[in-house]
A and B are shown apart, each in its own frame.
Chain A
């Protein structure tokens, strides 16, 4: 069969990224321009500034990607783009850009859900096997999904309130850590011990998660100690929080492994870059003789290569979008199956 080259575009948050992916699994070229330093000045991503920077940089990111691959847009078989979920203004830039490429070069346009992109990051370099359990953990999502085949998603459980990444960011702020909060908690936790007693959250047999209670418990603890005039041990608290937050995931994953007897697990989303989390999930998988597939670090955070990987099954099914494609800030994974 002829090789399929997809040029993919990702602008859902604060990374402008374009990739060329062959057959949904070989990354020919990938460029990621992060705006992290800019947003760090404001303590978080400012949506309007993120959108502005996408427009400023997007044609240059294209040029760099094509140069790396020694290819041209006309060599592509399709143009793929993240259309949802994410920051609306940011998504709109990528969608408009991709539509122009699709129009000028007369290539099919493929719309990709960002979260499905995170799942398909696992297709790059190592094979995703079905059936599998997928744990989506990011700043906006905490979901446990069962996949029987390509684009066949069954939602087992999801967060009832905050997403895990959101909890990391909020706790980081309470501890006075800089943006990005998650990686900074992880760093600080290495210097601490799990000494603070924090509540277990959804302590039942459902697959659902909850993080607002844990976040509130940390905030209350910090305030209480402050009122008593006591110094909080930030490293210990970071470690205790991270332990409790990851425990919430592993308990639910364990129930799913037991009940479904599925032997392949993938984790996806920005929080999957957390090393402690990877180790703990690996332990649970080992216990149930399940294989844990992890994307390489570079494909854990937002990138266009995963969008190209996720677009490939849609290309094979000829599920193409029209030039009136719109961006959308919200979208579930399950409606895509």
Chain B
């Protein structure tokens, strides 16, 4: 049984997955309370069962949101001594897009995170964060897919093909630069 944790935006998505099937799925949207709700929600969905492995979305997205899910997931994996894998929020979008080569993007309040993927969902180049104006310009030049319907079965199946990561090294990716880093 795989425990999937995604807190990279305003939702908490918790899924139990086994043998290609989704056993349980819980989505709650209460951004201000996410830090209160995540652990009780995982406890409720697991019902004292231990997962065999964990998949966590490690960003990019809301800094605090991503950190919440990643801190929880890496600590769970470390203490339960079970394998953990990461998938990025943009990989999730790419996996659910049936186009060979694609640019996928999603927005937060001030701009867009984008990633370019090949037909095997491998990232080409680096993730980028564009302001709303930059993104409008970008869209004039390239075809960008933003309306992706997430298929969690596909996402988790794809993530399970990825390599296991040492829990100590499971960390968020942020992409967006901080003011002090500029």
Contact = CB atoms under 8 A, between A and B. Distances in A.
Q: Interface on chain A toward B: helix, strand, loop, or mixed SS?
A: helix
B78 interface: yes
A51 B67 contact: yes
B36 A326 contact: yes
Contacts of A191: none
25 contacts: A42-B180, A46-B180, A48-B178, A49-B180, A51-B67, A56-B171, A59-B74, A63-B168, A89-B64, A92-B68, A95-B35, A96-B35, A96-B39, A96-B68, A96-B71, A96-B72, A97-B71, A99-B39, A100-B39, A100-B79, A103-B43, A104-B80, A323-B40, A324-B36, A326-B33
A58 interface: yes
Given A49-B180, A89-B64, A324 B39 contact: yes
A58 B43 contact: no
Residue of B35, B37, B68 with highest tally of chain A CB at under 10 A: B35
Contacts of A63: 78, 168
A202 interface: no
A101 B79 contact: yes
B36 A55 contact: no
Interface string A104-122: 1100000000000000000
Contact of B63 (A42, A51, A73, A324): A51
A52, A89, A103, A322 pick with most chain B CB within 10 angstroms: A103
Contacts of B172: 52, 55
B50 to A, nearest CB: 9
Interface of B, secondary structure class, is helix
A55 B71 contact: yes
A56 B76 CA distance: 14
Contact of B43 (A54, A73, A323, A325): A323
Interface string B38-74: 1110110000000000000000000110011011101
Name the residue among A56, A62, A97, A105 with the largest chain B CB count within 10 angstroms.
Answer: A56
A325 B37 CA distance: 9
A322 B44 CA distance: 13
B167 interface: yes
Contact of B40 (A59, A73, A93, A324): A324
Size bracket of the A interface: 20 to 34
Contacts of A73: 79
A60 interface: yes
Interface of A: 42, 46, 48-49, 51-52, 54-56, 58-60, 62-63, 73, 89, 92-93, 95-97, 99-101, 103-105, 322-327
A89 B68 CA distance: 9
Contacts of A100: 39, 71-72, 75-76, 79
B80 to A, nearest CB: 6
The 10 A-B residue pairs whose C-beta atoms are closest, nearest first, are A100-B75, A99-B39, A324-B36, A104-B79, A323-B39, A59-B78, A96-B71, A326-B36, A323-B40, A55-B71
Contacts of B168: 59-60, 63
B174 interface: yes
Contacts of B178: 46, 48-49
Contact of A96 (B38, B43, B78, B79): B38
A325 B36 CA distance: 6
Contacts of A96: 35, 38-39, 68, 71-72, 75
A107 B182 CA distance: 44
A58 B180 contact: no
